Structure 1
């Protein structure tokens, strides 16, 4: 990439980008070379940005991980992105989701100055059964950055919409929601709606309404406890009005980044990106290749239609 392109990507003046590159090379912090594998990642980034209408995309090389989710690769890339976000000092409040990928991102971060930014968890989920508890994610962020960090002290889903209205009227939760509204950038994971996906193991659903039932209704992705079909359209489920999180439509107009990857997340990522809610993506090379092969342009065209069959 040219220095101008690098400056534009990181939102800094070209002269500053030139100085930083020169200093890094002089100090031996970086080596400048051509690497075929990384070149492939850069090409995938460009294709994903074009195909899904993204303003920013990072594709990280595979690190040979054997698990269903490349947590190390995604964690390192997410941590690097978050540190860059803090360096820019353009956001006073940063909204953070939770889950295994978000936890890996925070784990990979070194101690880092927040520069006055605050963090807020934008989704409930404070239960003993919940994997990658949001308290752990937000608490570790506060420890590593010294920033103020706020947790939504509530389950992901409450019993009824009326329960949600009562809880949201409480002073503490109302203040958290105001903080969430002030978040100009959000970093989220994507939930896979299938029996092997991360959502299936979270133990957050009603006993009578399984993930299998949601999938039969057309759900392919879960974002902030809300469900999208294969073309990125919101669908109605028995959980409507019960999730302790902002409405997905309220995210439009903000910077919203997805950090997700792995074979079990590909279909969910396609659905989430086709929604048009996300402005940026951090993913791994293998997942990026799958997303490009079934591209976003086709999904955006389909999304304009008023009706259509869901993916099988």
Structure 2
């Protein structure tokens, strides 16, 4: 039993129906397990599977690629203790597969809004998250509020990370809250002064309330690091961070190959949630691409992630990079 992958229409649930049918017919999951895996209601899982059958998405032949994606999800969940993992089939050969990652992220956000389990959702920024929002259909927020999880003023307008939170507001009509701050300040003293301001303190307090934090993962490789490409930090600062052993970054926090935090001079000057705040609630990352496996592996090793959304090629690399049992 196999199914045809269709990326074309998130708005009419066709891609959701396809995945639900994959998990049920190929993955062998019950409809209740499908609902849990996809983070949707059981009634919707039943409806999606029925639609896949009605619309002719189910065919009688074996499609190994689809089955392998489900197997990769199970493998990554087991290796890294993830509660949630979704792997998109490879649909393009770009170094950064924004089409696949954007679809996964958009589907995840829409499901979260439909379930309404998270009254406050925190958002990171970056190209991958922007792609997720670009593919998000107009969806009613249902009272859900969105908040930025870190400062993001940059020196390059075209890399402005505020696009993420602004686009969410446009697509959902939700209340949104931004942090009108640089990513890094000149000193720890400057950070303390800004954190004491009532307006800024209120946004950080709301960010701490976020039961779901949806973020990207950054690399410390100079040529591929979005933090340097966007002008948030200097290239020499990133070089020093990498020399200190950092391989991956999430919300301004850096981790080495073993998932240990890497503290640098930058740590006390970054306008983002504390490490302790990151560990609260559900932290879900969407990340992938040729430059990202080592960075994603470092974040996975930290044990912080509740869930990971990635593409098939990256998933294979992560399995290959996994620690020996």
TM (norm. structure 1) is 0.89
Q: Does 1:202 align with 2:225?
A: no
| CA deviation profile, 1:51-70 (whole Å, cap 9, x unmatched) | 0000000000111232x211
| CA deviation profile, 1:228-274 (whole Å, cap 9, x unmatched) | 11111111111021111111222223111110001111100000110
Tell me how far 1:8 sits from its aligned partner. 2.5
Q: Does 1:294 align with 2:318?
A: no
Tell me how far 1:23 sits from its aligned partner. 4.9
Q: Does 1:103 align with 2:130?
A: yes
Q: 2:93 matched to which residue of 1?
A: 65
Tell me how far 1:201 sits from its aligned partner. 1.2
Runs of 4+ in 1 over 6 A off after TM superposition: none
Q: 2:75 matched to which residue of 1?
A: 47
User: Aligned pair in 2 of structure 1 residues 164, 72: CA closer, same or farther (>3 Å)?
Assistant: same
Q: Does 1:32 align with 2:58?
A: yes
Tell me how far 1:71 sits from its aligned partner. 0.9
User: Aligned pair in 2 of structure 1 residues 60, 16: CA closer, same or farther (>3 Å)?
Assistant: closer
Tell me how far 1:112 sits from its aligned partner. 1.1
Tell me how far 1:210 sits from its aligned partner. 3.0
* Partner secondary structure for residue 267 of structure 2: coil
| CA deviation profile, 1:172-228 (whole Å, cap 9, x unmatched) | 101101110110001110110012222331222247x43222111101111111211
| CA deviation profile, 1:76-124 (whole Å, cap 9, x unmatched) | 1110111111111101000000000011111111211112111001010
Q: 2:214 matched to which residue of 1?
A: 187
Q: Does 1:280 align with 2:307?
A: yes
* Partner secondary structure for residue 98 of structure 1: coil
Q: 1:270 matched to which residue of 2?
A: 297
CA contact under 8 A between 2:52 and 2:58: conserved in structure 1? no
- CA distance in 1 between counterparts of 2:39 and 2:133 reads 23
Task: Let me know the Cα RMSD of the aligned residues.
Answer: 1.9
Alignment of 1:104-119 (within 5 A): 104-119=131-146
* Partner secondary structure for residue 81 of structure 1: helix
User: Aligned pair in 2 of structure 1 residues 16, 144: CA closer, same or farther (>3 Å)?
Assistant: closer
- Report the number of matched residues: 294
Alignment of 1:220-299 (within 5 A): 220-295=247-322, 297-298=323-324
Structure 2 unaligned runs (5+)?
1-23, 25-29
Q: Does 1:9 align with 2:37?
A: yes
- CA distance in 1 between counterparts of 2:42 and 2:110 reads 20
Q: 1:307 matched to which residue of 2?
A: none
- CA distance in 1 between counterparts of 2:134 and 2:47 reads 30
Q: 2:188 matched to which residue of 1?
A: 161
| CA deviation profile, 1:137-179 (whole Å, cap 9, x unmatched) | 1011000001001100000001111101100111110110111
- CA distance in 1 between counterparts of 2:144 and 2:279 reads 21
Tell me how far 1:282 sits from its aligned partner. 0.4
- CA distance in 2 between counterparts of 1:14 and 1:146 reads 27
CA contact under 8 A between 2:152 and 2:182: conserved in structure 1? yes
* Partner secondary structure for residue 291 of structure 2: helix
Structure 1 unaligned runs (5+)?
302-312
